[in-house]
Amino acid sequence: MEQADCIVFGEHILTMNDRLDIVHDGAVVVRGGVIAEIDSAENIRRKYSSACSVGGQGRLVLPGFVNSHTHAAMVFFRGLADDLPLKDWLEKHIWPAEMRFLNPEFVYDAVMLAGLEMLKSGITTFNDMYFFGDSTARASKQLGIRAFLGVGIVDFPTMTAKTVDEYIGNADRFIDAWKGDPLITPCIAPHSAYACCTQTLKRVKELADRRNVLTTIHLSETEWEVAQLVGSYGKRPVEYLESIGFLGNRLLAAHCVWVDDREIDLLALRGVAVSHCIESNLKLASGIAPVPKMLAAGLKVALATDGAASNNDLNILSEMSTAAKIHKTLANDPTVIDSRTALLMATRWGAEAMGLGGVTGSLEPGMRADMITLNLQKPHLTPAFDLYSLVVYAAMASDIEDVMVDGKPVVRNRVLLTGDEEEILQKAREWGRKVLSAST
Amino acid sequence: MEQADCIVFGEHILTMNDRLDIVHDGAVVVRGGVIAEIDSAENIRRKYSSACSVGGQGRLVLPGFVNSHTHAAMVFFRGLADDLPLKDWLEKHIWPAEMRFLNPEFVYDAVMLAGLEMLKSGITTFNDMYFFGDSTARASKQLGIRAFLGVGIVDFPTMTAKTVDEYIGNADRFIDAWKGDPLITPCIAPHSAYACCTQTLKRVKELADRRNVLTTIHLSETEWEVAQLVGSYGKRPVEYLESIGFLGNRLLAAHCVWVDDREIDLLALRGVAVSHCIESNLKLASGIAPVPKMLAAGLKVALATDGAASNNDLNILSEMSTAAKIHKTLANDPTVIDSRTALLMATRWGAEAMGLGGVTGSLEPGMRADMITLNLQKPHLTPAFDLYSLVVYAAMASDIEDVMVDGKPVVRNRVLLTGDEEEILQKAREWGRKVLSAST
């Protein structure tokens, strides 16, 4: 008998591999943090022994979800100011709260809450763009969640830097600090083409190329942004970034709501990946990205929650459901974004969008063992005709039972193993009281 | 000390009364099935004693949700055929399955599953339109869920009747059987203006007036329906129903996706209530009802899940979130359908739409005691700045802990008290196997 670190059993295993193989009555063998083998439970039991066994009958095993764009620490502003125009929301509520409270301790405590929520929603990898990246990285390591982290860069001073030189230096140091970490993948995160000038974006590109890291940016989120860029440069956002040589297959662009057909072709030509943040875009009345057109053009589109201040949760299951449904009506075609496509956007395509395609996002031998079990024995998941449909259209985050990241169990029967949930909630409530007292 | 049947405690109580009063550290006294008093927990404890105590710290108490349009028994077709054109879905999958399986036992077992799912999602009242209404009523009584039930009427023969005379006779008998029941309110449910001719609709109207019951109908769900009616009668659906005297304030119309400004004014003028089934409409690519215009015109709009074959769950929380978000973007205004409005559409306005405004939908002395507790001590509900926002934008069905209908606890700590959940799921799986074997 060979020794396994852990064996994960499933009545069904959605591998999300190229052929979308489903293994019934199957098992996934985990050894040294990677998936060693996937086969029938019977064969695996005959070949391996392990002290750790997860899942079983009535459980669906699938890759952990990938949240391809968020601002995790903003979870402390969840519901602080909803149903308001974007300008009021930002200028009267979010920015004042950020100016007053942001510091490394706030970000660490907030990411502990955000990571807890994400893990319990089945998210095993997230892409974050915010300030105090070291705090985000430390909290992610503590929780055991995989993170693709960008240090925010803007042209104006904030609490983390005063000049572009300083921002670029911070980004460089952040890469030094975390490159090679098994869970943390550093990237560079210029905020947007309206908050960074051409010179700044060129320096970002140079740094990203030199350090061989990916870049992530907000792109064409609102009509206002398009008007700004057209006003400043005479070009729409994607055309502008193309003109300065910024587009490429190492760029992950969040939103891309207001892109015309020519811009979609440009994004496809350059191999840019897109984060689709449907619930945030809807709630802020920003618009709806033309995802079916993007997919038809061959673009890689991944799903994302955006920050909890605008969404208001960190739940990829509801993003899948909303995205799959809304594009059917906009396209006047119920076959658009079927449940398989939606689940690919929430798993493998998300990983690939971050350059982590060989690491996570599908269950295949040699991949890091990032996976979740989902309890199918629920009223809203009965009867079970189509597993993809159940996951995309009916499952809730609370159906996720066990979560493993990098071969390590981090949630077991919905209990966090890598931190004290009550303590995390308690700290969050304390910060909440401070934020509330300052914003009213 | 006065005796109460049960006291429900909440860190916060959202009454959803006219003033949207919130009682902090409050309690609701239940006696004889009705709400006797709502006050601070301190005052209630001083005045009442009870052997039954529900809720407490960290719990939000609110009226049970109202699902204003569904086909509960179709839960056995959940996910049977998704991502397909409406015609294929109906003609190749749903209708053949219905023709083969529908009988009183199927409907009873299916409504037990649907009711279980609804209760555990916080729904305490639902409006159903389907066949074999006695089975639906019996299952609802068994579960202890409040139901507003219509016997389906169409012009063509089905397994329940061969002629319009027979359908009308069935509806009349159904009203005899259930009128006056504390939980069941009978209504009449002609399917639509395309499946019922003018003569049938006039007979329905006559019966509804004579028996003093409400009527519910599918109205302007698809562009196809509009074209049909224009073709048959030279009028759009709402205009046609107006022309035959069918509209009135005892009519609940589901969908109303394709209504123009003149039709909205007509619906408002006649006091017709509307069921907004946003997730079903999106998933079937039917379109998006102009709800902000309807609200501005003074229409009563309630939320609904539609059947689980098209949605695919029976969860009003996700309907609230989707409706509130999508209309902001369509209106290009993030203030549209704020969280208070969404919660009214899911509670009081739903009850009022069914003529049950004095019975359920808000927490006020004299109302029947239909209420739920929601556990706020969850990562995705922390911190808590705005309770309406939390419920509408972040809460999940699994956060509902206790459910009381008509003063009787029916779910306690997410466990059904009025039936055996495992037995209900087991029967559902058996029916699922039969349906699957017949449809493939």
Which of A312, A319, A399, A424 to probe the B interface (max B CBs under 10 A)? A312
Q: What is the largest CA-CA distance in chain B?
A: 68
d(CA A66, CA A349): 9
What is the β-pairing status of strands B371-375 and B300-303? unpaired
* A121: chain B residues, CB-CB within 8 Å: 380
pLDDT tens digits along A4-21: 999 999 999 999 999 999
Structure tokens at A360: 């996570």
CA distances (Å), origin A428, targets A114, A122, A278, B47, B345: 10, 21, 26, 36, 31
Contact B80 A313 (CB under 8 A): no
Strand order of the β-sheet with B65-70 is B65-70, B123-130, B146-153, B184-190, B215-219, B251-255, B273-276, B300-303
Task: Give the residue on A whose Cα is nearest the Cα of B280.
Answer: A325
d(CA A224, CA A206): 28
Report the share of chain B in percent with pLDDT over 70.
100
What is the β-pairing status of strands B48-49 and A48-49? unpaired
pLDDT tens digits along A146-189: 999 998 999 999 989 999 999 999 999 999 999 999 999 999 99
CB atoms within 10 A of CB A177: 13
Number of Cα atoms under 13 Å in the Cβ half of residue B10: 29
H or E element, residue A34: strand A34-40
CA distances (Å), origin A159, targets A154, A162, A171, B121, B350: 12, 8, 15, 43, 48
Structure tokens at A372: 């979740």
* B288: chain A residues, CB-CB within 8 Å: 329
- Intra-chain end-to-end CA distance of chain A, in Å: 64
Q: For residue B440, is pLDDT > 70?
A: no
Which of A325, A378, A391, A400 to probe the B interface (max B CBs under 10 A)? A325
Q: For residue B258, is pLDDT > 70?
A: yes
Q: Is A438 on the interface with B (CB under 8 A)?
A: no
What is the β-pairing status of strands B415-416 and B146-153? unpaired
d(CA B290, CA A288): 17
Orientation angle between helical segments B198-211 and B164-178, nearest 10 degrees: 20
> Which is more confident, A419 or A440?
A419
Mean pLDDT computed over B59-64: 98
Q: What is the mean pLDDT of chain A?
A: 96
What is the β-pairing status of strands B146-153 and B371-375? unpaired
Contact B117 A394 (CB under 8 A): no
What is the β-pairing status of strands A300-303 and A400-405? unpaired
Q: Name the one residue in this structure whose structure tokens are 């006696």.
A: B31
Q: What was the pLDDT predicted at B100?
A: 87
Q: Name the one residue in this structure whose structure tokens are 């399986």.
A: B101
Interface size, chain A vs chain B, as Cβ–Cβ contacts under 8 Å: 217
Using alpha carbons only, give the angle A251, A255, A259 rounded to the nearest 5 degrees.
Answer: 90
Residue B237 — left, alpha, or beta (φ > 0 → left; ψ -120 to 50 → alpha)?
alpha
Which of A:97-126 have CB within 8 Å of B? Answer: 113, 116-117, 120-121
Which of A:327-356 have CB within 8 Å of B? Answer: 328-329, 331-336, 338-339
Q: For residue B59, is pLDDT > 80?
A: yes
d(CA A87, CA A332): 33
pLDDT tens digits along A288-302: 999 999 999 999 999
pLDDT tens digits along A330-343: 999 999 999 999 99
Task: Give the residue on A whose Cα is nearest the Cα of B87.
Answer: A334
d(CA B239, CA B245): 10
d(CA A324, CA B325): 15
Structure tokens at A366: 């040699």
Length of chain A: 440
Task: Give the residue on A whose Cα is nearest the Cα of B257.
Answer: A329
* A385: chain B residues, CB-CB within 8 Å: 78-80, 432, 435-436
pLDDT tens digits along B287-322: 999 999 999 999 999 999 999 998 899 999 999 999
pLDDT tens digits along B86-110: 778 888 888 888 888 899 999 999 9
* A394: chain B residues, CB-CB within 8 Å: 78-79, 308, 312-313
Q: What was the pLDDT predicted at B93?
A: 86
Closest CB from A286, A312, A393 relative to B389: A312
Cβ distance A101 to A110 under 8 Å? Answer: no
d(CA A304, CA A337): 16
Task: Give the residue on A whose Cα is nearest the Cα of B117.
Answer: A379
Strands (E) in A169-321, as ranges, are 184-190, 215-219, 251-255, 273-276, 300-303
3-state secondary structure string across A120-173: HCCEEEEEEEECCHHHHHHHHHHHCCEEEEEEEECCCCCCCCCCHHHHHHHHHH
d(CA A341, CA A348): 10
Which of A287, A302, A123 lies closest to A221 in space, CA to CA? A287
CA distances (Å), origin B239, targets A155, A282, B159, B171, B244: 58, 32, 32, 26, 9
Residue A100 pLDDT level (bands cut at 50, 70, 90): confident
* B221: chain A residues, CB-CB within 8 Å: none
**A93 residue type, one letter:** H
Residues near B284 by beta carbon (within 8 Å), at least 6 away in sequence: A328, A334, B86, B89, B310
Burial level of B98, CB count in 10 A (0-12/13-18/19+)?
buried
Helix (H, G, I), strand (E, B) or coil at A210: helix
CA distances (Å), origin A307, targets A126, A129, A234, A251, A338: 11, 10, 31, 20, 26
Q: What was the pLDDT predicted at A387?
A: 97
d(CA A431, CA A433): 5
CB atoms within 10 A of CB A156: 11
Cβ distance A214 to A354 under 8 Å? Answer: yes
Q: What was the pLDDT predicted at B88?
A: 84
**B116 residue type, one letter:** L
Burial level of A195, CB count in 10 A (0-12/13-18/19+)?
middle
* B398: chain A residues, CB-CB within 8 Å: 396-399
CA distances (Å), origin B335, targets A277, A309, A310, A318, B326: 19, 15, 13, 22, 12
* A399: chain B residues, CB-CB within 8 Å: 398
3-state secondary structure string across chain B: CEECCEEEEEEEEECCCCCCCEEEEEEEEEECCEEEEEEEHHHHHHHEECCCEEEEEEEEEEECEEEEEECHHHHHHCCCCCCCCHHHHHHHHHHHHHHHHCCHHHHHHHHHHHHHHHHHCCEEEEEEEECCHHHHHHHHHHHCCEEEEEEEECCCCCCCCCCHHHHHHHHHHHHHHHCCCCCEEEEEEECECCCCCHHHHHHHHHHHHHHCCCEEEEECCCHHHHHHHHHHHCCCHHHHHHHCCCCCCCEEEEECCCCCHHHHHHHHHHCCEEEECHHHHHHCCCCCCCHHHHHHCCCEEEECCCCCCCCCCCCHHHHHHHHHHHHHHHHCCCCCCCHHHHHHHHCHHHHHHCCCCCCCCCCCCCCECCEEEEECCCHHHCCCCCHHHHHHHHCCHHHEEEEEECCEEEEECCEECCCCHHHHHHHHHHHHHHHHHHHC
CA A342 to chain centre: 14
Task: Give the residue on A whose Cα is nearest the Cα of B420.
Answer: A379
Structure tokens at B285: 């690519």
Which of A:413-432 have CB within 8 Å of B? Answer: 421, 424-425, 428-429, 431-432
Which of B:163-222 have CB within 8 Å of A? Answer: none
Q: What was the pLDDT predicted at A440?
A: 59
Q: Which domains does chain A have, with CATH numbers?
A: 2-63+368-406 (2.30.40.10), 77-353 (3.20.20.140)
* A325: chain B residues, CB-CB within 8 Å: 279, 282-283, 322
Using alpha carbons only, give the angle B421, B422, B423 rounded to the nearest 5 degrees.
Answer: 90
CA torsion, ordered A231, A232, A238, A244, to nearest 10 deg: 150
Structure tokens at B418: 């009025």
Contact A385 B285 (CB under 8 A): no
Contact A385 B436 (CB under 8 A): yes
Which of B88, B16, B6 lies closest to B51 in space, CA to CA? B6
d(CA A67, CA A316): 7
Contact B120 A421 (CB under 8 A): no
CA B60 to chain centre: 21
Q: For residue B436, is pLDDT > 90?
A: no
* A312: chain B residues, CB-CB within 8 Å: 389-390, 393-394
ipTM summary value? 0.96
Mean pLDDT computed over B20-30: 98
Q: What was the pLDDT predicted at B428?
A: 98
Contact A379 B113 (CB under 8 A): yes
Q: Is the dihedral of CA B349, B350, B353, B356 positive or negative?
A: negative
* A314: chain B residues, CB-CB within 8 Å: 380
* A79: chain B residues, CB-CB within 8 Å: 383-386, 389-390, 393-394
Closest CB from A113, A334, A431 relative to B284: A334
Q: What is the mean pLDDT of chain B?
A: 96
What is the β-pairing status of strands B2-3 and B48-49? parallel
Chain B closest-CA separation from residue A366 CA (Å): 33
* B113: chain A residues, CB-CB within 8 Å: 379, 382
